[in-house]
Chain A
Amino acid sequence: MLSKRIIPCLDVREGRTTKGIQFKDNIDIGDPVEMGRYYYEEGADEIVFYDITASSDRRPIMLDVVTRVAETIFIPFSVGGGIRTLEDMRDVLLAGAEKVSVNSAAILNPEIIRQGAEAFGSQCIVLGMDVRQVPSSTKFPSGYEMVIHGGRTPMGIDALWWAREAERLGAGEICLNSIDADGTQDGYELNLTRLVSTHVSIPVIASGGAGKPEHLFNVLSEGRADAALIASMVHYGTYSIREIKQFLQERGVKVRRTW
C-alpha cells in the first residue's frame, strides 16, 4: 500500500535558504544542499526547493544548487519558482531534479504543461496552484478562485476547473496551496483539498497552513491528500519529520518508516 508523503519545502533566494532555521546539528542552515541532506536523512519522502530569486539572470545559481543537491540526496526532489519555458524545465531536470513545478506561467500559458509533459513525461510536471476561497457563483462553481503573484492577482478562473484542465493537459501531480490558510499554521484547507483530490486522478499535495502533526493527519485522511507539504513547523525545529511520521503512523496513516 502506498505511503502518504511528507514533503518539506525550502525557499531559496540566490542560492541560500531564506528562513532562519533552528537545527541542533552542526549544519549550515543557509545552505540548501546541507538542508536538503538533513531532511533526506530525517526521512523526508521528497523535497521541494522553491526558488524565490527575483531576477532571472541569477538562475545559474539555482541550477548549481540543484546539481549539488542531486549529488547528495537519493529521493525525488522538485524545483519550482520562475519556471516559464520548456528550456527552464530542461535545465532544472538535466541538473538532476526529478520534477519541475509550474504555477503562474501555466495559468498564463497552459500549453507549457502539455509541452513539458510531452518532452519530459507527465511524472515530471507538477502544477502549483495558489487558490483562495470566493463565494460560489456561476463563474466559480467550486467556490475557489485561482490567484497568482502570491495571492495579489485574482485570475477569474475556477480552481477546480483549472485543476482538471491541467490534468487533461498532462500535469502529473498538483501542489495545491490555499492562500487563505498559508502562513496561519492553523491547519490545511480541508474542503479545498478534498474537493480537488477527489475530482482529479493525479496525486494532490496539500500545502498551506501546517502547524501541528494533527493538521497533517486531517489533510491526509479527511482531506484525501496524497502528500503534505510542510515548512515552518519543521524549519523552526518545533517538530521533526520523524515525530510527525510517528504521530501519523499511530493514527493509522501509512507512512514510510525510515527509523
Chain B
Amino acid sequence: MIAILDYRAGNLTSVERALRFLGYPCEITDSAERIRAADRIIFPGVGAAGKSMQDLKQLGLDSVLLDRLEAGVPILGICVGLQVLFDFSEENDTQCLGILRGKVPIFPKELCDENGDRLKIPHMGWNEVLFTREHPVFAHVRPGDEFYFVHSYYPEPADPDCIVGRTRYGIVFSSAVAAGNLVAVQFHPEKSGPPGLQILQNFCQWNGH
C-alpha cells in the first residue's frame, strides 16, 4: 500500500486518482500507524510552506517521515512536498525539515526570458525538465517531455549531487532531486499527462535504490 501523507495540504485526491488509474492501492492518511505500514510514501503538497510545516509538526508527521526515511522506504515529494525537505524556505520564513541541504528562495522579481520579456510569477504551466543523470524514477521519460508546474518558490540545493533534473524559467533551477530512497519533484506528475503518470508508475515500482 502507498500512503499519501495527509497534512491538510490542498488537492491530495488528484494524486490518489492517478495512482488508482495506474492500479496501485493507496490511502490518504495522517495516521502514523498506517504510514508505518506503507511500503512507500507520497508526500504531496499544494499550499504554503509555513502552513505545511506547521501542520506536519502538529500532526507529528515530520518525525514519522524522518523515521520512514531512515527505514529506507521509498518516498516521493511533490511541489511543496519537495520544498519543505530543505533547510529553509523564504515562504513565510519557514524552518523546514532539513533532510536536504539548501534553501527555497522566491523567484526574482524582474525575471525575463531570452527575448527580454518579463516572466510572470507564479511559474504556472508546462515546462521541460532536463534530466542530468539517470534515476529509476525518471526512466522512460523522453527528452523534451513537459510537466505541469505551479510555484513561486524554487529549490536551491547546497549539494549538487542531489540534483537530478533542471528547468529553465528565466533562471535555471533544480526541478527534480534525489538522495537515497528519497526523490522529489517541483512539478505535479499527477497533472502532467502520460510522462507524469510514467514517473508515478516508476516510483510505485522503485525499491529505493
User: Per a CB cutoff under 8 Å, which of A45, A72, A172 touches B126?
Assistant: A45
For the complex formed, measure the closest distance between the CB of B38 and the CB atoms of chain A, giving whole angstroms.
22
> Complex formed: what's the CA distance from A226 to B11 in Å?
24
User: Per a CB cutoff under 8 Å, which of B113, B120, B127 touches A202?
Assistant: B120
Interface residues of B in 13-34 (CB under 8 A from A): 13-14, 17-18, 20-21
Contact (A93, B125) CB under 8 Å given A1-B114, A74-B18: no
Contact (A96, B14) CB under 8 Å given A1-B114, A75-B148, A123-B150: yes
User: Per a CB cutoff under 8 Å, which of A2, A71, A120, A257 touches B144?
Assistant: A257
Interface residues of A in 28-87 (CB under 8 A from B): 40, 45, 70-72, 74-76
Contact (A93, B11) CB under 8 Å given A71-B21, A76-B191, A201-B121: yes
Do A2 and B125 touch (CB < 8 A)?
Answer: yes
Q: Is B196 an interface residue (CB 8 A)?
A: yes
Q: Closest residue to B195 on the A side, CB-wise?
A: A258
Do B113 and A5 touch (CB < 8 A)?
Answer: no
For the complex formed, measure the closest distance between the CB of A112 and the CB atoms of chain B, giving whole angstroms.
19
Residues in A with CB closer than 8 Å to B150 are 123
User: Per a CB cutoff under 8 Å, which of B46, B118, B128, B190 touches A121?
Assistant: B46
Interface residues of B in 132-153 (CB under 8 A from A): 144, 146, 148, 150
Contact (A5, B46) CB under 8 Å given A94-B13, A202-B120: no
Taken residue by residue from 113 to 133, chain A's Cβ proximity to chain B (1 for < 8 Å, 0 otherwise) reads as 000000011110000000000
Contact (A96, B169) CB under 8 Å given A74-B191, A74-B197: no
Q: Is B193 an interface residue (CB 8 A)?
A: yes
Do A1 and B146 touch (CB < 8 A)?
Answer: no
Residues in A with CB closer than 8 Å to B146 are 3, 256-257
Q: How big is the B interface, by class? A: 35 or more
User: Per a CB cutoff under 8 Å, which of A40, A72, A94, A202 touches B193?
Assistant: A40
For the complex formed, measure the closest distance between the CB of A90 and the CB atoms of chain B, giving whole angstroms.
11
Residues in B with CB closer than 8 Å to A98 are 11, 14, 191
Do B124 and A173 touch (CB < 8 A)?
Answer: yes
For the complex formed, measure the closest distance between the CB of B28 and the CB atoms of chain A, giving whole angstroms.
12
Q: Is B108 an interface residue (CB 8 A)?
A: no
Q: Is B98 an interface residue (CB 8 A)?
A: no
Residues in A with CB closer than 8 Å to B128 are 1
Residues in B with CB closer than 8 Å to A96 are 11, 13-14, 17
User: Per a CB cutoff under 8 Å, which of B10, B127, B194 touches A2?
Assistant: B127
> Complex formed: what's the CA distance from A1 to B146 in Å?
10
Interface residues of A in 206-259 (CB under 8 A from B): 224, 226-227, 256-258
Q: Closest residue to A202 on the B side, CB-wise?
A: B120
Sorted nearest first, the 10 A-B pairs with minimum C-beta distance are A256-B126, A3-B126, A256-B146, A123-B150, A2-B125, A2-B127, A76-B191, A75-B193, A201-B120, A203-B124
Where the two chains meet, the residues of A that have a C-beta atom closer than 8 Å to any C-beta of B are: 1-3, 5, 40, 45, 70-72, 74-76, 93-94, 96, 98, 120-123, 172-173, 201-203, 224, 226-227, 256-258
- Please list 9 pairs of residues, one from A and one from B, whose beta carbons are closer than 8 Å in the complex, sorted by A's number: A3-B126, A45-B126, A74-B18, A75-B193, A76-B191, A172-B122, A173-B124, A224-B117, A226-B120
